[in-house]
Every structure is written in C-alpha cells, then in structure tokens.
Structure 1
Amino acid sequence: MARLTVLTVPDARLRVKAVPILGVDDNIRQLMDDMLETMYAEDGAGLAATQVGINKRVVVLDLEDHAPGLGPLKIANPEIVWRSEDVQKNWEACLSVPGQSAQVERHTAIRLKYLDENNTTQEKDFVDWVSVCLQHEIDHLQGVLYVDHLSALRRNLLIEKAKKFKAS
C-alpha cells in the first residue's frame, strides 16, 4: 500500500467532477487500499479519490466508532437513488479543508447503489452519521466541498482559515 497526498483548498483539482469507472479491478482495489491507508494516516473517516487528485468515482469510509460492525466501506460509482425527506444539521470537517468545521444540513437517510470492492452491484440503505458521511464524500466526486453548502461569507472565511492552518 502507498500513502497518497491529500489535496487542500484552494487546489483546483478538488473542483473536478470525477468520471465513472468501468469496473473494480486489481488497480481500483489497490487505489481503495491506498486511500484507506491515507485516510487512517490523516485521521479521517472518509476519503474520495478526487481528494488525492484521482479523477475516478471511488470513495472509502470507515465509521466503526459510529456504526460498529460496518467495517471499512470501499465504494465505486456511488449513486444516491433515494433520499429521506428528513434533514438535520451536523458538524462536518474535511481533510481538504484542514482545521475547520461547520454545520451542514444533510438528509438523515439515503439509499445508495454502487459497486463494491468485488465488482458486485450493491443497493443499500444508510442512516444517520453513515448517511451524512457518504453524502459528504459523494459531493467530493461532484467537485463540491462541504463549505459550498454554507453562505459565501462563511465559506470564504473557512477557506482562508484553512489556508492559514495548513501554512502554520
């Protein structure tokens, strides 16, 4: 496995929309493993391929502390096929916006269709914190950061603080 470099704001590559993969092969499985290693090293809970400069629709997540027994998720080509009507605000942070956090409104439950690490199509419901984190990571694949859900003033303030935080 290899540790990858996490991009941080204002890197323009974070705004690139990721492209679907044709299938999960050994190269994608290696990418997923490298992304997990990177995420653990950075003390993160989730990571999208776009955050490490790879323009592919791949996401990894490990929320064992919040969802015991779930284990690490390795997801390719995620597609939200249903969202609950219920929404709530949660505190979010991001490895690409270091040292910052803000409350973001997200759906409390989603149904996700995706390819797993074995190239098998899955369709599963996710709730609460897992749902929130998946929505956050899938946003990355669209070139959207959690700060984009905030007012322009708040977004710009957090980005400026993140740049200073990284420089220190």
Structure 2
Amino acid sequence: MIRPIVMYPDPGLGEMCTPVLDVAEVADLIADMFETMYAAPGRGLAAPQVGVLKRVFVMDAGWKTGDKTPVVMINPEILSRSTELQVNEEGCLSIPDTPRRVARPARVEVMWLDETGMQRRGAFDGFEAACICHENDHLDGILILDHEAAA
C-alpha cells in the first residue's frame, strides 16, 4: 500500500524515533515503505516520512540505474564514518523540489537488524553511504535543511 509522505514542515519530521522492539510489528510497514519509495520515486525512505516514529528505513540506491538492491535497516547504528567526505546534491521526498548540497562521509560501517530480525553489519561507500546517512538522520529528526549547505 502506498502511504502518504509526510511533508516539511510537519513537526513529526523533527522527532527522535524509538527503537523497534519486535521486527514482526513492522513487516507491513516495510512492505508499504518500499512500495511508497519506488512510486515516489525515491532511493530511500525512513519511517517518520510516512508518519511512523520508529527506527526503520528502506533504501535501494541503485534501482534507478538498473541495479535493484533493496535494503531494510531496522535500529541502524553507524559504527564508524570515514574522515574523507563526499559532497552530493541530495533531494528529500519530504521536501520536494528543494535539493541541497550536503557533505557526508565517503564510507560508513553500520550495524542493523534486517527484516527477518537477523543482525547485520556492513561497510558502504559512495552513494550508498550518503543514502544511509540521510535516512539515518531522519530517524534522529534531522533534515537536509539542518545541514550547512556544502560548496
């Protein structure tokens, strides 16, 4: 089911999300988030963007270029961030038509639960790292507008 996307300046977008305690409780939410993200069309979507203040996001960094690799991150924790930065023009489904240049780590290491409840750990670089940081920011109530615009 495609859910309505919460739009800025909705105050829920600035809220800190709570951890997911039972992965089964967010199964329908995850399916809806993927359907909503692909229809939008976006490359990532966090639960607060559909009005659910839980620590879960979905992403598929490469689907628009034919490399469909959907990822679900529940209760993600960024363990490390490279000191090397990348600057990308980021869009946000909750702030349409307002791209912003944001500096993000070029590489991140993350620990999370997948949709089956299995703990995962992985390193991501490039656009995937930026996408993870962007979506994880949503879980902490941070928007691209909260970042100083990068040159």
Same fold, TM-score > 0.5, yes or no: yes
**Match among 32, 52, 55 for residue 53 of structure 2:** 55
Secondary structure of the 2:141 match is: coil
- Using the alignment, how far apart are the partners of 1:69 and 1:123 within structure 2? 21
Deviation of residue 22 (structure 1)? 1.1
- Using the alignment, how far apart are the partners of 1:100 and 1:59 within structure 2? 21
TM-score calculated relative to the size of structure 2: 0.93
- Using the alignment, how far apart are the partners of 1:150 and 1:82 within structure 2? 21
Q: What is aligned with 2:20?
A: 21
Secondary structure of the 2:5 match is: coil
Q: What is aligned with 2:30?
A: 32
Deviation of residue 14 (structure 1)? 0.5
Larger radius of gyration: 1
- Using the alignment, how far apart are the partners of 2:65 and 2:75 within structure 1? 22
Gaps of 5+ in 1: 152-168
1:132 paired to 2:130 = yes
Q: What is aligned with 1:82?
A: 80
Q: What is aligned with 1:159?
A: none
Deviation of residue 81 (structure 1)? 0.4
Gaps of 5+ in 2: none
Q: When the two structures are aligned, how many residues end up with a matched partner?
A: 149
Q: Is the 8 A contact 1:67 1:130 kept in 2?
A: no
TM-score calculated relative to the size of structure 1: 0.84
The root-mean-square deviation of aligned C-alpha atoms, in Å, is: 1.5
Deviation of residue 134 (structure 1)? 0.5
